[in-house]
Structure 1
Amino acid sequence: MYKISEFAEVTGLSKETLRYYAEVKLLEPAYIDPVNKYRYYDDGSYFLAILLVKLKGFGFTIQEMIAVMEDESFANLEKLLQQKRMNISLQIENLTTKLEELDEFLESGRENEQ
């Protein structure tokens, strides 16, 4: 079992994030000491925390992460990841178009100076 500070260190999640995740029922401690209220996490919690770190890195919202965690079979995870991938691809296309438009605008300004 890991105390919250140890668990934060090994997962890269802050203690505040872990407390928030517990509050929204996203990642609850495996055990809370009834006397001192210390939170403890186990190896199963570690797997879930690493999954949450990845999902957060992929731009998943809290609501999307909760949906993944509620589906304990992770049956829909691949579908959600494919959707997120498609959204990221569209964002890249949109940003690439904006870059091209910006370059054209800069170039037209240079041509007018000559």
Structure 2
Amino acid sequence: MYKISEFSELTGLSKETLRYYAEVGLLEPAYIHPDNRYRYYDDGSYFLALMLGKLRALGFTIQEMVKVMEDESFLHMEELLLEKRRKIHEEIHDLQERLADIDAFLESGREEDE
């Protein structure tokens, strides 16, 4: 069993993040001491913590992460990842269009100065 500070160091998730994940039901401690309320995590929690960290790094929202964790078989993981990928491509396209608009606007301003 790992204390929250040890588990935080082991997984790279802050203690605040671990507390929040427990609050929203993403990653419950394996054990909470009844007297001092210290949180303890086990090896089984380690895999889940790493997965949550990776999902967060991939841009998943808390709600999306909850959906993944509720589907304990992870059958829909690929589907969610493909949807996330599609949305990122959309965002890239939108940002490229904005860049083109900015460039065109700057260019039109230069032409007027000449």
TM-score over 0.5 for the pair: yes
Write the distance in 1 (CA, Å) between the matches of 2:12 and 2:111.
50
Which residue number corresponds to residue 77 of structure 1? 77
What is the CA-CA distance between 1:12 and the residue it aligns to? Answer: 1.6
Q: Secondary structure at the match of 2:8?
A: helix
Letter of the 1:3 partner, please give it: K
Q: Secondary structure at the match of 1:68?
A: helix
Q: Could you give the per-residue CA deviations for residues 68-107 of structure 1, whole angstroms, max 9, x where no partner exists?
A: 0011100001100000000000000000010011011111
Give the unaligned 5+ runs of structure 1.
none
Q: Secondary structure at the match of 1:95?
A: helix
Which residue number corresponds to residue 92 of structure 2? 92
Moved more, 28-37 or 74-83: 28-37
Identity rate of aligned residues, in percent? 68
Which residue number corresponds to residue 48 of structure 1? 48
Which residue number corresponds to residue 65 of structure 1? 65
Structure 1 segments, 4+ long, off by >6 Å, are none
Q: Number of aligned pairs? A: 114
What is the CA-CA distance between 1:58 and the residue it aligns to? Answer: 1.6
Match status 1:10 vs 2:19? no
Write the distance in 2 (CA, Å) between the matches of 1:98 and 1:88.
15
Give the unaligned 5+ runs of structure 2.
none
What is the CA-CA distance between 1:35 and the residue it aligns to? Answer: 2.2
Which residue number corresponds to residue 24 of structure 2? 24
Letter of the 1:40 partner, please give it: Y
Write the distance in 2 (CA, Å) between the matches of 1:49 and 1:39.
14
Write the distance in 1 (CA, Å) between the matches of 2:111 and 2:44.
62
Using structure 1 for the length normalisation, give the TM-score.
0.95
